[in-house]
Structure 1
């Protein structure tokens, strides 16, 4: 049986060595054996298990639910794979519709057949946006969501891109702090979180309860959690803890 070291498995799968070490530490993906030199070795069973993990991550499942599905046995694993296959087929169909929409739009712009206004948006996925808005409204009320939309309304594309770039820089700083093994409540981390709060506050007034609630949203909602865990396996949990600490110490109880 062919065995792979953790570095070889990382190159084969595209998963970072740090993430593979984290999966080992939490019991999600243990190596087949560990050599006298301390090297981890992975065999065929571990490769298949890692494929399962990556497929379920692509389904936006958090790591604890992935672990539960894997622990439940092969029947649930097969069911998860079938669900993922169905989702991929649905995505393919939607992408085909998007390609057709783009082709018709290009033809229209080049002087071909005029495209009806209602056809401009075929293939897009408003249900996903509606799902997020429902999730937020149920937990934090419609006021914050309406306020956020109003504040963003009318801004230029360039300003919005700068706004997103600023968030990306803040998230990169958080990952750097985590790699340096700083605690979520450390002063340096709280300085970053303070700037993150200022960024959020441009959207809606984030008081103690709502800002801490936003941190819980990052941890609880599978889409947000997957987004942050893609940057660092423990980032969603770290961010939620850091935001809760900042909210408790630095923000008023109500706006």
Structure 2
């Protein structure tokens, strides 16, 4: 049997995340007479499945549904995970090769092939997201999508890399804040929300209502929620609350 600290050290999952998994019933350890949590072989194997599915971007609710299915079979699940990972590796390999080509072209000061610039990015997924934005925001969403495309097409390869680096830094800051016990309305969170809003404005210009609605989309939409909760349990909700707070306290009434 292993204590929660031992499991955290072995798996790389924070104690706080393990407590969260216990709280939502995703990974429930035994409770000893001393009140401590103890994890046996079955719990460790279940945690392995949880982490693998998280790496693939599945939301925690979907992982729980899979693992709690009465027909769940460990071997079949591992084979399915291996298939999914092979597909993910193939896509990531394409992305890595695209980055390598972009860096090589930048270093050599050569023009980039527009078609090769986006190998590894799923056009189908992009089209799905755009359709959902239009469905959620109506005509404003359609304008925003077209405006965002125009802005992104005008970016140089170096600017595109900077665009990605900035959102990665924002996400890392939010994870650090959550781990430190910060709240969405705190000054630190609102500074990050402001930075996030400025990042969003690099591709489209939402007003207060649209920015708040974007935050709610991070919670409501399975892909977005999965992406954020894979970075940290509860991050999607934290993002939504921080964005709504920022919209109400900073953006409300601002001339767009």
* Normalised-by-shorter TM-score class: 0.7 to 0.9
* Partner of residue 47, structure 1: 44
Q: Shift of the alpha carbon at 1:144?
A: 0.7
**1:182-201 alignment, distance < 5 Å:** 182-201=182-201
Q: Which has the higher contact order (CA 8 A, sep 6+)?
A: 2
Q: Cα RMSD over matched residues?
A: 3.5
Structure 2 distance, partners of 1:144, 1:239, is: 21
Alpha-carbon displacement from aligned partner over 1:27-79 (angstroms, at most 9, x marks no partner):
2212123362x542211221232233234324433223333444443448888
* Partner of residue 22, structure 2: 24
* Partner of residue 139, structure 1: 136
* 1:170–1:192 Cα contact (<8 Å) kept: yes
Structure 2 distance, partners of 1:5, 1:74, is: 29
Structure 2 distance, partners of 1:194, 1:94, is: 32
1:62 and 2:62 are equivalent in the alignment? no
Q: 1:126 aligns with which of 123, 136, 139?
A: 123
**1:154-165 alignment, distance < 5 Å:** 154-165=154-165
Change (3 A) 1:250 1:93: closer
Q: Shift of the alpha carbon at 1:187?
A: 3.0
Change (3 A) 1:174 1:54: closer
Report the 3-state secondary structure (helix = DSSP H, G, I; strand = E; otherwise coil) of the residue aligned with 2:231.
coil
Report the 3-state secondary structure (helix = DSSP H, G, I; strand = E; otherwise coil) of the residue aligned with 1:41.
strand
The structure with more radius of gyration: 1
User: Number of matched residues?
Assistant: 237
Structure 2 distance, partners of 1:176, 1:158, is: 27
Report the 3-state secondary structure (helix = DSSP H, G, I; strand = E; otherwise coil) of the residue aligned with 2:209.
helix
Q: Shift of the alpha carbon at 1:204?
A: 0.6
Where in structure 2 are there 5+ consecutive unaligned residues? 102-114
